[in-house]
Structure 1
């Protein structure tokens, strides 16, 4: 079967709700509103937005846990509703903050159970379980009941469960939530390696540094609607997100003041004397600004650089500062 990727077209999902308690009038809430997404094989794609944007609902539809109200999801040209069983064999889901394993079983028993659900051959399954337990650092706890695991250990086991069928497409919904930094770093390395080997990955995360590190392409949504798409760098540029350079100087003679004016830097008093020259720019201006100050006979006692933020770009998109939708690639 050709790896045509996950193709989402005009996806809608509505839920029935009651406005005023159990006996109030029944209405509908739209959680996903006309989304188009492409998650190709061999790429890590991000799905970003504020809380309530529709990210988790979208991922659950892609994972066949929810049926769409309308629209289509195709996985390697298989329909997620009509061919749900075949789709499930090609995907898996890792969701942070949700219990995705059984607490009354050991870690090894959990992986054995889920491996059989995915029809992993028993001879392969034994070796794969040992490999995954080692990967997530649970070899020593493999035969311990999961109810005795810490939250971080339980999440690590959920990661192993999500990889048990060697999925062609991996759906990650806040996968590093609650993980210690070393395990989160190891998971990012595993995900990057899987993508390099051809796995298609969809990632949602509030850790935007994680998104910038991993994702080649990002979709931004709000209220279930598409707002923007492109690489993290393209989104920052399109929304005018600016990096910040702060240079502390002990004195501001006329020549240095002229440099500040020419670069458009603001001047504020520094604690302990001197001034702070602050420049906000989409470009990397720390070097040119510092060189110009020194060239004008000034001295520098401190230099601070803050890169343009993907968080700033998302906030600009979601609060209406930048009109959408913005399609960059």
Structure 2
């Protein structure tokens, strides 16, 4: 049996009306021919700009939506034909969505969902206590969720998503609205789950979170595949490099020659100095500063900004937009 989640040729169309309630009926394609692999024991990222199709894809994987075409298999089980069996192997944590019952207490919610997932009763009470402690809600266990803050509700949703010890965990903006300490604890838990063999699919607008956790990332746009690879590979492939910003307080012909040799952009400053800006895959800050000093220049400031995954995604999306514009033209 093939293990992991395998997505092949996934497509999802939604019915829409072009002109109001009584306009002609059409379709909007939210996911368009995606292939994904989410193996056990690894955290895989799914990234893209708003409207890229990430949440729709995750809901299909979670059996909440049926695909219009293509297949999704979880350890060889089809998410449509074998939906009940698939649900026992997965769970979903989604930030910003109502995933618990507000008129029940925190403990009652976990008891209810634990029974839905057939967690043995002898184990369930201990499991509930462990999860409430994990998300910092032990003291609120017997409080109705309608009295929880947004952050507390999201923490309870995290505990609900872990109640059945899922083999595959689908995370759609899981830290949205969480305080920094709780978000950090969740990242730690997710990393530990993956190390123990859980397969994880993560979408997040906090890209530092993705860089910290994900060994492999898929980037999509308008439901289509754009690129894949490790965060470092995506940054390198899109030319997203660390940026050096060096201020020269007494620029002259000699320092200008150094800037040209390194390929740095020169920007005049109001105080008569000059800002040198250079993006490069290697660590050139030290050699550039040394060369400027060697040319008689004085350094007024030095900043180094590491390449970001956000830069890479924006470059990918911009490149696709340009390509589509070229085709349309």
**TM tier, smaller:** over 0.9
TM-score (norm 2): 0.94
Q: Does 1:245 align with 2:244?
A: yes
Offset of residue 116 of structure 1: 0.6
Of 245-254 and 66-75, deviating more is 245-254
Deviations 1:270-295 (Å, cap 9, x if unpaired)? 35442221112233221221222233
Matched with 1:104 is 103
Hey, what does 1:298 align to over in structure 2? 297
- Alpha-carbon offset, residue 154 of structure 1: 0.3
If the length of structure 1 is used for normalisation, what is the TM-score? 0.94
Give the aligned partner of residue 211 of structure 1: 210
Q: Which moved more, 1:154-163 or 1:262-271?
A: 262-271
Q: Secondary structure at the match of 1:190?
A: helix
The 3-state SS of whatever aligns with 1:176 is coil
Partner of 1:327: none
- Mark the CA change 1:7 to 1:282 in structure 2 (over 3 Å): closer, same or farther: same
Q: Does 1:52 align with 2:51?
A: yes
* 1:155 and 2:154 matched: yes
Post-superposition Cα deviations, 1:296-325, rounded to whole Å, max 9, x if no partner, equal 34332211111112112111211226988x
Question: CA–CA distance in 1 between the matches of 2:278 and 2:151?
Answer: 41
Aligned partner of residue 244 in structure 1, secondary structure? strand
SS at 1:198's partner residue?
Answer: coil
Measure the CA separation in 2 of the matches of 1:298 and 1:322: 43
- Can you give the 5+ residue segments of structure 2 that lack an aligned partner in the other structure? 324-329
Would you say the 8 A contact 1:317–1:323 is kept in 2?
no
Per-residue displacement from partner, 1:172-198 (whole Å, max 9, x unpaired)?
001111111111111111111111111
Moved more, 160-169 or 275-284: 275-284
Separation in structure 2 between the aligned mates of residue 304 and residue 3 of structure 1, nearest angstrom: 49
Task: Summarize the Cα distance change of 1:279–1:119 in structure 2 as closer, same or farther, 3 Å threshold.
Answer: same
Aligned match of 1:29: 28
How far the C-alpha of 1:18 sits from its partner, in A, is 1.2
The separation in 2 between residues aligned to 1:273 and 1:319, in whole angstroms, is 36
CA distance in structure 2 between the partners assigned to 1:161 and 1:3 by the alignment: 28
Counterpart in the other structure of 1:119: 118
Structure 2 residue aligned with 1:192: 191
The residue matched to 1:320 in structure 2 has which SS? helix
Once residues 237 and 129 of structure 1 are traced to their aligned partners in structure 2, the CA distance between those partners, rounded to angstroms, is 44
Number of aligned positions between the proteins: 323
Please give the secondary structure, in 2, of the residue aligned with 1:301. Answer: strand
SS in 2 for 1:4: coil
Counterpart contact for 1:316–1:322, Cα < 8 Å: no
User: Within 2, Cα distance between the matches of 1:78 and 1:162?
Assistant: 20
Aligned to 2:318: 319
Which secondary structure state, in structure 1, belongs to the residue aligned with residue 293 of structure 2? helix
| Distance of 1:212 and 1:258 partners within structure 2 | 37
Which structure 1 segments of 5+ residues have no match? 325-329
Residue by residue over 1:65-109, the C-alpha shift from the partner in whole angstroms, topping out at 9 and shown as x without a partner, is 011111110001111111111110100000001000000000011
Is contact 1:252-1:274 (8 Å) kept? yes
Matches of 2:288 and 2:180, distance apart in 1? 35
Quick one: distance in 1 between partners of 2:321 and 2:27?
Answer: 29
Aligned counterpart, 2:258: 259
